[in-house]
Amino acid sequence: MIEQVKTTIEKHQLIKPGDHIVIGVSGGPDSMALLHLLLRLRSTWHLSIEALHVHHGLRGDAADGDLAYVKRFCEAYDVPCHFFKEDIRRIAEQSGTSIEEAGRNVRYHHLEAVRSAVGADSIAVAHHMNDVVETFFINLFRGAGIDGLAAIAYRREPYIIRPLLDVSRQNIEAYCAANGIDPRYDETNQQDIYYRNGVRQKLIPYIKTTFDPNIEQKIYRTTQLFKEEKRFWQNHTRQLSERYVKKFNGGIGIALTHFEALETAEKRHLLRQMIADVRGDVRNLPAMRIDAMIELKEAGKRIDIDDQWLMIRNAETIEILMRSMFDANKDEIVPCIETELLTMTADAQYNRKDCEIIVDADCIVGNLEVRHRKPGDRFSPLGMSGTKKLKDFLIDLKVPQYRRDKLWLVCDAEKIIWIPEYRMSDRVKVTKNTEKLMIIRI
């Protein structure tokens, strides 16, 4: 088994010599086999290894025994170990999640906190081949696409690695027996109380008995094919994103001309990527929600992603935005204005930066201020003689309705000087008669 694990590590570049690794250790056969295997590689690969155990507060004396067992093992093998006790049932109730999900969230929270504190390169967890098969069925029943049917990844960026993913539960238990490891067993894994346990205890045995005794190996091979498809789409989608997607303050967007030219599968993957880029992940995002976004055709309509993010189709763009972009302007921080005076000759060596303009200082009347638009505002866009209603100017630029009231305007005592990100005023432009320059920054 150790040769299989070494092959997995090398093929997927999970560990390199000299790495510092934090291992999640429950005391069960999977995590104990992982810890034991990496300890066998510790000296030859010059690894630094630490363990982490979370007492979930759910199984009374049995959980106390798990903690004591892990502590004894780590002391015997000179492995630093971090122990945490949590009331998972209470955390689940407070967060409105299942006990299973709350436990997983707490474990990963502590793993990442310890990794960061000790400066480790990665976090190793003990998912194996049977977990892959179970996850495949769970995601299949949820209506998942390629990403979900690829099941569990060998690496979850940026730090999670899974060296046992090509090893079966049967081989793990055989490894423990052959190496004198007497792991702890969580009796709840044999009870039909969690969704995953139902797949493990009922569905898979039924399929093996009724249809195919080798179903686990075949599903595992299928997930490997989906992993290859996933890698292709990740690379292709990244290229599409780099070419067409633009980020802005509070969201991300793509021009409709580019989006509508894509195939449906490309749209689906690109939307998921856009959401992940701003939200951090696409967990709990049903495929039907993505399809609804693709099918949305009316400008101004929106679809909620979660309680923080939404998707809106504008006249010329599709955008993923923070819901707060639609809230009334409250508790917002008004940008500060910075100004700098220059002579006309100095401007010859001056390179203008983002978020600033150069104007004729003598055209500025009174003090500068930053504000939102008001009814009746008029503007003289650079290159245009006379003035235009600000509302009409923004409509011509296809600025979405929700964003118009959020725009900051730089004004003097008489007029709008500048609409950052869009246009400065023609009435303050530098001409051949300009003597003094003013740089305005926000």
Return the HEC string of 198-230.
Answer: HHHHHHHHHHHHHCCCCHHHHHHHHHHHHHHHH
Per-residue exposure over 393-429, b if at least 16 CB sit within 10 Å of its own CB, e if not: bbeeeebbebbeebbbbbbbeebbbbbbeebbbebbb
- Domain presence at residue 224: no
**Joined tokens for residue 120:** 């480790």
Q: In this predicted structure, what is the pLDDT of residue 58?
A: 87
pTM: 0.73
Residue 113 CA from chain centroid, whole number: 18
Both 27 and 167 in one domain: the answer is yes
Both 163 and 77 in one domain: the answer is yes
Q: How many domains does the chain have?
A: 3
Q: What is the CATH number of the domain that holds 436?
A: 3.50.40.10
Both 279 and 373 in one domain: the answer is no
- 442 residues of the chain, pLDDT tens digit each: 999 999 999 999 999 999 999 999 999 999 999 999 999 999 999 999 999 999 999 888 999 999 999 999 999 999 999 999 999 999 999 999 888 899 999 999 999 999 999 999 999 999 999 999 999 999 999 888 898 899 999 999 889 999 999 999 999 999 999 999 999 988 766 666 678 889 999 999 999 999 999 999 999 999 999 999 999 999 999 999 999 999 887 889 999 999 999 999 999 999 999 999 999 888 878 888 999 999 999 888 889 998 889 999 988 899 999 887 766 555 677 888 889 888 876 544 555 666 789 999 999 999 999 999 998 999 999 988 889 999 999 988 888 877 888 889 999 999 999 998 889 999 999 988 888 899 998 8
Look at residues 373, 401, 405 and name the one whose alpha carbon lies nearest to residue 389. 373
Q: In this predicted structure, what is the pLDDT of residue 195?
A: 85
Q: What is the CATH number of the domain that holds 320?
A: 3.30.465.60
Q: In this predicted structure, what is the pLDDT of residue 353?
A: 67
The verdict on whether residue 30 carries a ligand-binding annotation is yes
Q: At what angle do helices 29-42 and 169-178 cross, to 10 degrees?
A: 60
- Domain presence at residue 207: yes
Both 82 and 205 in one domain: the answer is yes
Both 108 and 29 in one domain: the answer is yes
Both 160 and 278 in one domain: the answer is no
Please measure the distance between the N-terminal and C-terminal CA atoms of the chain and give it in whole angstroms.
61
- Domain presence at residue 234: no
Q: In this predicted structure, what is the pLDDT of residue 352?
A: 62
268, 299, 326 — which closes off a domain?
326
Both 104 and 202 in one domain: the answer is yes
The verdict on whether residue 29 carries a ligand-binding annotation is yes
- Domain presence at residue 50: yes
Look at residues 21, 37, 16 and name the one whose alpha carbon lies nearest to residue 123. 21
The verdict on whether residue 26 carries a ligand-binding annotation is yes
- Domain presence at residue 233: no
Q: What is the CATH number of the domain that holds 168?
A: 3.40.50.620
Give the domain range for residue 415: 338-441
